[in-house]
A = this chain, B = another copy of it.
């Protein structure tokens, strides 16, 4: 029921089933939220009635009445999305308090301080969350909303200062009473409207606020980051309040069934006596641990096990039961009200990557879950985490770090080094043994060696898939891209605000968060744990679709192989062209005026390329190696600055003008759509022939040395079967020649990238022309399908994501809806011509888990990704195999693109349609949700014998009935 009730609501219901004490309440379903937005933020008809009925049931159970001045019921109102979004959305506690019900609460609890404390909390929370006081306070200087405004906190601080208090606990009942008055005045002053005293108005305000909070910026950002669809909506959980702040026999806490940082299997948690949940989150007081499994923090002398041993025991038994029930590490919130334990929430606990591995392998070893389950539920992001060095987040230096600015978290990890501003400087300084951060406006293929020599790369321009980002991810270098810094190459420095970072100054980059940090932070080196190897062995056993790597060097090949890569899916030969010992020959080739001149220059590159390929074959002994023939436009190999051009002319003894003319001639308006890929090989067949020769000669040499070689030659940017046929003919000719002379037998394939829409549309023809494999180049295919240069999308991409025009960056996750169609056409047509056609992907998407699964759904034979993403892709491949219905993801994408779920901006159009539809469907839906909550209210509570039942205490107390038994199935 998670989709309808949200995670929190479903888990509350489940805890009821398991016989645990849960405050009675009900859930308003996520579909109501969706309807709320679709109808222009109006509550669907019929909802009020349903809520009234549900509330009446809660009142009945609790024996109190919402808004009663005699025995008032207070409720909380909490959000609950399908997937937990901790801390992202709003919560309102203590709803139902006003000057009148307050009196009854005092009378009922005989605890005026508690009552006023609850009241002032409620007024402040309501003022902030529901009425939006903060958003109405303007900065006196700028006239814009003052983001630092906190009038209620300010009032408390002032009072404490006036009274000389240090802690909130020192506030007396009278102080708190005064604060209520102050707070109400603030609300009136700021908003020119009073704090609502009517409890029902309060409740509906709170419900609306929870719905509203689905659309606040931080919630949207969180969803964007975690790929949660906008139209899922949140549920609202309305529950009777229980009070951890009633007295010192009360408290509230959070615990985990295992340590979420390390994964160690012990009961971990902390709690605060006499507090409400928000105090734990706010971190005003130091919480106590629940037990003595780890050394106590300074100044803490007791734990829950000491303070309330029975409660602890009960809580521990609940923990056991929940972990056994959910078969995962649980994150549990609880409140103790006057010595009685209430379970407020449980959910699968967030954890670090290392903890995730430890927990997963432990759970399997404990036979709680199968290996398959461990794999299926493993969060791919955890896999990334464990492979990367991180900052030592517990170090003082880290805690006090000075974040200069934030950029895009383009390539994860932690990098520390001295800033340098050119690839050459980076290389030179690194050669001296320095750790270097390369800082550029943007990077280009010429910077490759400098990037390689650096610990991390920081750029001022470009998005998640800019050159810097893509190359850095490929190399496993940390990268923060598109940071709002001003780079001055002339002065060798960059500035951000008043801060100036000069060449040689230390900078730290957090590629996972996108932080640019001043100075030198300590890092932790992370070795691969035993758990990693165990887990990956299981992954390997489930995986069907193979995982290769994109690697251009023997070293990358070896790294990838150590991560489990089963061959190379993309070896870009052009990176080899930039090596210092050959760039001159490459340039000579480009500047040549005739084919013989070009062939002469190429003949000098041949032995070097042959050696490259030999080393790569060696590193990939036994696995296929896909080598792409030259792809980038030739001008990328030529210098740009006048000075360099002059140098080049001198070196080649050419007239300066001739060199300039050639550069002008090769200049392109849109290099992405110009003379590149197989077009180079069509225009200059001698380039393809040279590369083929280098490949086959290297393969022959390797074979003679006993290395098993499976070269797969890949022709890029095919749009037409004739292009392919022409290039394949060249390759086959060279193969015949080289292999014939050597007497070596070699199995090789010639295939093509599918990276243009037209290639997908005529894929059958390309196979009929002899293509023996396809590799989807989804980077370029995305660029052409969207008409979108990834280098130039930076300006509007944020707006597109913000406005929800794109749910995700199409360069990160395959656009299933559009690109997916073309890929499907390509696969279907390709396989229609050759049933067994080998199909893979070598775009950046090959390392993105949802994209990997999509490829599996389409029947791919392999995915290929950068070395550091190989374990992640292997995991995703195994998860894809384990999925019951591998078409799920696509269906999901289709469903989300369904016109019934239009962008919210089209509210007006939908109002009309919905008016009718709502009347028919929303009320029953709300009803259904209520029915599903009945157990939570009905079943558990009646069965719970009251510990003590004073006549004036109408709040129903609950204790678990059946701690170790199976969850009750009835109801």
Could you list which residues of chain A lie within 8 angstroms of chain B, going by C-beta atoms? Answer: 665, 668-675, 677, 679, 682-683, 717, 719-720, 722-723, 725-726, 729, 755-758, 761-762, 765, 768-770, 780, 783-789, 791-793, 795-796, 799-800, 803-806, 815, 817-819, 821-822, 897, 899, 902-903, 905-906, 909
Find out whether the CB atom of A806 lies under 8 angstroms from the CB atom of B720: yes
Find out whether the CB atom of A762 lies under 8 angstroms from the CB atom of B669: no
In the complex, what residues of B have CB within 8 A of residue A899's CB? 765, 768-769
When C-beta atoms are compared, the residue in chain B nearest to A788 turns out to be: B673
Find out whether the CB atom of A795 lies under 8 angstroms from the CB atom of B902: no
| Cα A694 to Cα B788 with chains together (Å) | 29
Find out whether the CB atom of B821 lies under 8 angstroms from the CB atom of A761: yes
Find out whether the CB atom of A787 lies under 8 angstroms from the CB atom of B780: yes
Given contacts A679-B796, A722-B804, A726-B905, contact A765 B717 (CB under 8 A): no
In the complex, what residues of B have CB within 8 A of residue A758's CB? 785-787, 815, 818-819
**When the two chains form the complex, which single residue of B722, B787, B800 contacts A805, counting CB atoms closer than 8 Å?**
B722
| Cα A673 to Cα B675 with chains together (Å) | 16
Q: What number of copies of this chain does the assembly contain?
A: 2
**For the complex of A and B, 10 pairs with smallest distance between CB atoms:** A673-B789, A674-B792, A670-B789, A758-B818, A756-B787, A757-B757, A669-B791, A722-B805, A668-B792, A670-B672
Shortest Cβ gap from A447 to chain B (Å): 15
When C-beta atoms are compared, the residue in chain B nearest to A787 turns out to be: B756
In the complex, what residues of B have CB within 8 A of residue A806's CB? 720
Find out whether the CB atom of B674 lies under 8 angstroms from the CB atom of A789: yes
Shortest Cβ gap from A761 to chain B (Å): 5
In the complex, what residues of B have CB within 8 A of residue A677's CB? 787
Shortest Cβ gap from A469 to chain B (Å): 14
Find out whether the CB atom of B788 lies under 8 angstroms from the CB atom of A719: yes
Shortest Cβ gap from A767 to chain B (Å): 10
| Cα A719 to Cα B671 with chains together (Å) | 22
Find out whether the CB atom of B762 lies under 8 angstroms from the CB atom of A817: yes
Given contacts A671-B670, A761-B822, contact A785 B756 (CB under 8 A): yes
Given contacts A765-B899, A822-B761, A897-B765, contact A675 B803 (CB under 8 A): no
| Cα A788 to Cα B789 with chains together (Å) | 13
Given contacts A725-B906, A761-B818, contact A719 B787 (CB under 8 A): yes
26 chain-A/chain-B pairs, Cβ below 8 angstroms: A665-B795, A668-B792, A670-B670, A670-B789, A670-B792, A672-B789, A673-B788, A674-B789, A674-B795, A677-B787, A679-B796, A682-B799, A683-B795, A717-B787, A719-B818, A720-B805, A720-B806, A729-B906, A756-B786, A758-B815, A758-B818, A758-B819, A761-B817, A765-B899, A768-B899, A784-B784
In the complex, what residues of B have CB within 8 A of residue A799's CB? 682-683
* Interface-central residue, A665, A725, A770, by most chain B CB under 10 Å: A725
Shortest Cβ gap from A715 to chain B (Å): 13
Find out whether the CB atom of B682 lies under 8 angstroms from the CB atom of A803: yes
When C-beta atoms are compared, the residue in chain B nearest to A733 turns out to be: B908
In the complex, what residues of B have CB within 8 A of residue A905's CB? 722, 725-726, 729
In the complex, what residues of B have CB within 8 A of residue A762's CB? 817-818, 897
Shortest Cβ gap from A896 to chain B (Å): 11
Find out whether the CB atom of B769 lies under 8 angstroms from the CB atom of A757: no
| Cα A755 to Cα B757 with chains together (Å) | 13
Find out whether the CB atom of B682 lies under 8 angstroms from the CB atom of A796: yes
In the complex, what residues of B have CB within 8 A of residue A793's CB? 674
Known: A672-B789, A761-B821. 11 other contacts (CB 8 A): A673-B787, A675-B792, A679-B796, A683-B796, A720-B818, A725-B905, A757-B785, A758-B785, A761-B785, A765-B899, A784-B784
In the complex, what residues of B have CB within 8 A of residue A803's CB? 682, 722, 726
Given contacts A672-B670, A725-B905, contact A787 B784 (CB under 8 A): yes
In the complex, what residues of B have CB within 8 A of residue A665's CB? 795
| Cα A784 to Cα B819 with chains together (Å) | 13
* Interface-central residue, A675, A677, A770, A784, by most chain B CB under 10 Å: A784
Shortest Cβ gap from A792 to chain B (Å): 4
Shortest Cβ gap from A523 to chain B (Å): 34
| Cα A796 to Cα B634 with chains together (Å) | 13
